[in-house]
């Protein structure tokens, strides 16, 4: 299988090359040239498979022989060995035909573990085979950083640098990153917001001349195809548990960078009967405005109680646009150029296509805290702020109550104790036992100015020989 750029000007790459390259040389994102498609009978035959066995079936066509079956199975098994729940992605019912898919059972309590534990072990394998050393550089609005560090800190062939917006992530999120004291791990607190961090990472990928000879950058953000690929699995897993493929299932997804919900879109294209995908956003609602009003314009970033969604430029939306514009790379290049001015307008045909599957909803902090309190009072179940937005979006936007609605729980409520306490007036969610001493752990991080040259100089100086 070959992987092509959404902007049409970069060379097609193999799976391994796409994983190591991340951002395409023309500024686009890599997507498969063709998607595998599974018949209803094939999907039905997967009912009852373990999460790991299902992951093997779904990921194998993308790897296309570049890993042996034995190698792929070993990477998958190692990726999910550290998850606390045997089901890997268990579900909890919170209402009539409404389910919460718990994607926080991994080592850092966030859905990013599904992709980044897999990516870490995959990179380990590829780099050891190639006898190659690389530099991982990533931006995080809170959860990607800790999951990437957890996945890469043990790898001798990787130096990892994670940028987070200084004083704009939760204390738990920061400590999870900065208390990993491995010699190859470097946390940078950037004096800016997440979009500043993301723009700096993209600029560094575009011009890697600051790196020592023989080194290249590897992406762990969701621009890396392997991350999207790994996330497709839990859509199939949830649907199979609720009677799929014999009946459709809908999903509500807390959405910032669009990677998680794009994986659901791919699951639909691959044969999973999905009736509805709901984009759930906070006050930073560019995706909601785009789907509802064709208003894809940047506005000032709002700092909210759901900080992982405090994003105004959703990188992975470009991957969806590529399909909405019939995979016309030139058209996507033109749109992205238009967006540099601060706004872009979708064609009527593209918007109509998007609305066939996608709905959207926006919640502010006040509405979000209300739904946390309401669900807790009615069920005794605690939602984190991002998941709460997904649950309320599902209740407002679902087309019917006959189709099971799955709300993706993207983080453990203990990652956002202040918001949960505010919503419930008294409940402080406890960290799991393996993280109970988090606040006593020593931290190490560097606060840097919002200056690309200064950050690149820091990276170059701290790469191990």
Please list the active-site residues: 112
Q: At what angle do helices 385-397 and 417-424 cross, to 10 degrees?
A: 60
Question: How far apart, in whole angstroms, are the C-alpha atoms of residue 232 and residue 262?
Answer: 9
As given in the structure block, the two tokens for residue 201 are 């990472």
* Alpha-carbon Rg for the chain in angstroms: 21
Q: Which of 298, 130, 147, 127 is nearest to 218 (CA)?
A: 127
Query: Distances from the Cα of 276 to the Cαs of 196, 244, 253, 308, 407, in angstroms?
Result: 32, 14, 11, 23, 12
Q: Which of 372, 386, 247 is nearest to 305 (CA)?
A: 386
Q: At what angle do helices 112-130 and 69-80 cross, to 10 degrees?
A: 140
As given in the structure block, the two tokens for residue 380 are 């005794």
Question: How far apart, in whole angstroms, are the C-alpha atoms of residue 260 and residue 228?
Answer: 7
Which residues are registered as beta bridge partners of 249? 274
Question: How far apart, in whole angstroms, are the C-alpha atoms of residue 401 and residue 60?
Answer: 35
Question: How far apart, in whole angstroms, are the C-alpha atoms of residue 162 and residue 174?
Answer: 11
């Amino acid at each position: 299988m070959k992987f092509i750029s959404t902007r049409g000007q970069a060379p097609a790459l193999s799976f391994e090359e796409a994983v190591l390259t991340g951002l395409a040389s023309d500024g686009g994102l890599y997507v498969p040239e063709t998607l595998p498609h599974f018949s209803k009978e094939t999907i039905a035959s997967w009912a009852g498979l373990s999460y790991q066995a299902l992951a093997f079936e779904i990921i194998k066509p993308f790897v296309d022989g570049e890993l042996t079956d034995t190698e792929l199975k070993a990477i998958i098994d190692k990726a999910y060995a550290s998850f606390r729940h045997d089901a890997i992605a268990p579900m909890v019912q919170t209402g009539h035909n409404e389910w919460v898919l718990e994607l926080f059972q991994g080592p850092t309590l966030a859905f990013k573990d599904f992709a980044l534990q897999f990516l870490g072990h995959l990179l380990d394998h590829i780099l050891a085979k190639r006898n190659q050393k690389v530099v991982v550089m990533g931006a995080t609005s809170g959860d990607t950083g800790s999951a990437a560090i957890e996945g890469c800190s043990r790898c001798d062939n990787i130096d990892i640098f994670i940028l987070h917006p200084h004083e704009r992530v939760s204390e738990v999120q920061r400590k999870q990153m900065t208390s990993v004291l491995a010699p190859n791990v470097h946390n940078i607190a950037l004096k800016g917001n997440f979009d500043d961090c993301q723009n700096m990472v993209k600029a560094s990928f575009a011009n890697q001349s600051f790196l020592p000879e023989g080194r290249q950058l590897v992406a762990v953000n969701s621009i890396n195809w392997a991350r999207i690929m790994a996330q497709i699995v839990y859509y199939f897993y949830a649907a199979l548990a609720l009677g799929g493929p014999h009946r459709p299932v809908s999903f509500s997804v807390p959405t910032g960078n669009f990677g998680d919900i794009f994986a659901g879109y791919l699951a639909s294209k691959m044969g999973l009967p999905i009736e509805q995908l709901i984009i759930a956003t906070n006050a930073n609602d560019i995706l909601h405005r785009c789907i509802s009003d064709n208003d894809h314009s940047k506005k000032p970033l709002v700092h909210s109680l759901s900080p992982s969604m405090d994003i105004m430029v959703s990188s992975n939306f470009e991957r969806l646009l590529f399909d909405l514009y019939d995979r016309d790379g030139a058209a996507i290049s033109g749109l992205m150029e238009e967006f540099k001015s601060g706004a872009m307008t979708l064609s009527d045909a593209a918007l109509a296509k998007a609305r066939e599957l996608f709905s959207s909803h926006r919640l502010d902090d006040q509405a979000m805290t209300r739904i946390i309190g309401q669900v807790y009072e009615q069920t005794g179940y605690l939602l984190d702020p991002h998941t709460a937005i997904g649950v309320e979006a599902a209740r407002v936007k679902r087309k019917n109550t006959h189709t099971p609605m799955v709300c993706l729980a993207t983080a453990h409520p203990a990652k956002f104790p202040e918001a949960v306490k505010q919503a419930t007036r008294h409940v402080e969610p406890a960290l799991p036992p393996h993280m109970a001493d988090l606040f006593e752990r020593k931290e190490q991080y560097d606060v840097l100015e919002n200056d690309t040259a200064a950050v690149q100089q820091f990276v170059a100086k701290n790469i191990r020989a």
